[in-house]
Amino acid sequence: MQDMETYKLSSIPLCEPNLNGREKQYMAEAIDSNWLSGGSFLRRFEQQLADYSDAAHVIGVSNGTSALHVALTLAGVEKGDLVLVPDLTFVATANAVKYLGASPVMVDIDASTWLMDLDLLLDFLENQTYQNSGGCFHRDSHRRIKAVVPVHLLGNICEMERLNAIAGRFELAVVEDAACSLGSFRNGRHSGTSGLLGTVSFNSNKIITTAGGGAILTNDDALAKRARHLITQAKSHPTEYIHDELGYNFRLVNPLAAMGCAQMEQLPGFVLKKKEIAAHYRQEFGDYEVMFQQLTPGTDSNHWHSAMLVNESRSLIAALAAENIETRPLWTPIHELPVFQQDLYISRENIAADVSRRGIMLPCSTSISDEQLQRVCQTIGRFLSVSIKI
């Protein structure tokens, strides 16, 4: 009886940070060094990320959202512009567009990859825009369409060759939201390094964490230089307080970068574990009426989050919660959120809404044990057998 109760009470979290490397040691060294805002761990962390991703420049920032904010600024997005984003993403992608006084245009997703539907994107650009010497403009509103933000959702990477070709034809800057795809590669290239700029996040639920943090990736020397300038209050004189444009305080601080250095040492292991978890779920439920995200050709996903689509997903979430197993729905489509009601939404069949309604994110901590994973699968298995019989 005692055993039964402990068994029931032990909870399985959705996605816990894993700080079992040299995090404490490096953070203590950072504190002892008395270098807090900047310092050697920040430079080392940026270098580790650059080596891993093969990006020419990596700039550490305060979080993934500020990385997007700065990247969109660098891409030339201005007040009144339109920026294309997928309808299914974390809200930060669309919020960053709004911070600049621009408006997101939500593009529906593909039903199998859950990424921005590039056919739909092309159809919109070919039929609802015009181009002149000032760029690409929306036919109805005459607003400039300045950029497109592909989101490599849950680790699956967009078909960047095709997206870059479309963006080139319509003069759009490409900013990749790679917040959740650190460790994902497609055709040998790391996510976030195929566009003009890429952004990643080290929030505590991401594949590596600095508690809060992010980075901007780019191969463009001038953009990298300007990124560093913008995130340090646009200070243009070494000692005098001269600031030559509107800047931000968006730097990643040294003790958190120290945590990042320790996390980077473990990243390859984390990716392997995430892949194992994803493969386990796919194998376990292959014969059930569920759907998993289909990877684009050439994508080697980090499988940051294992998610599946199932009818009555909310009942399944409740059934798992009753067993102390934490799961979450997929994100609400951006076009359904109050802040974005006035913004344009391009869709044929409202796929994002359907994926969101049926989506469930499954426990996928890199520290999850085989027993825990088995318990999750058994509980889901019971639910699915019952609901299929009915």
Interface residue list for ligand PLP (CB under 6 A): 63-65, 89-90, 92-93, 151, 177, 179-180, 201, 203, 214
Smallest distance, ligand PLP to C-beta of residue 259, A: 14
Strand locations in 54-202, DSSP E? 57-61, 82-86, 103-107, 129-132, 135-138, 144-148, 173-177, 185-186, 189-190, 197-201
Smallest distance, ligand PLP to C-beta of residue 74, A: 17
CA 147, 154, 209, 274 torsion-angle sign: negative
In whole angstroms, give the CA distance from residue 272 to residue 183: 10
- Of the two residues 45 and 383, which places its CB atom closer to ligand PLP in the complex? 45
Q: Is 291 helix (H, G, I), strand (E, B) or coil?
A: strand
Residue in the shown chain whose Cβ atom is closest to ligand PLP = 64
- Of the two residues 48 and 201, which places its CB atom closer to ligand PLP in the complex? 201
137 - beta bridge partners? Answer: 130, 144
In whole angstroms, give the CA distance from residue 313 to residue 67: 33
Assess contact for 247 and 61: CB atoms under 8 A.
no
- Of the two residues 89 and 293, which places its CB atom closer to ligand PLP in the complex? 89
In whole angstroms, give the CA distance from residue 375 to residue 209: 27
Smallest distance, ligand PLP to C-beta of residue 157, A: 13
- Of the two residues 64 and 255, which places its CB atom closer to ligand PLP in the complex? 64
CA 11, 12, 17, 20 torsion-angle sign: positive
- Of the two residues 62 and 313, which places its CB atom closer to ligand PLP in the complex? 62
In whole angstroms, give the CA distance from residue 289 to residue 306: 16
Q: Which amino acid is at 221?
A: D
- Of the two residues 29 and 108, which places its CB atom closer to ligand PLP in the complex? 108
Smallest distance, ligand PLP to C-beta of residue 235, A: 24
Smallest distance, ligand PLP to C-beta of residue 60, A: 12
Smallest distance, ligand PLP to C-beta of residue 205, A: 7
Smallest distance, ligand PLP to C-beta of residue 330, A: 11
- Of the two residues 65 and 299, which places its CB atom closer to ligand PLP in the complex? 65
Closest CA to 227 of 216, 243, 238, 213: 216
Half-sphere exposure of 253 (CA within 13 A, CB side): 12
Element (H, E) at 380: helix 370-389
- Of the two residues 89 and 379, which places its CB atom closer to ligand PLP in the complex? 89
Smallest distance, ligand PLP to C-beta of residue 171, A: 25
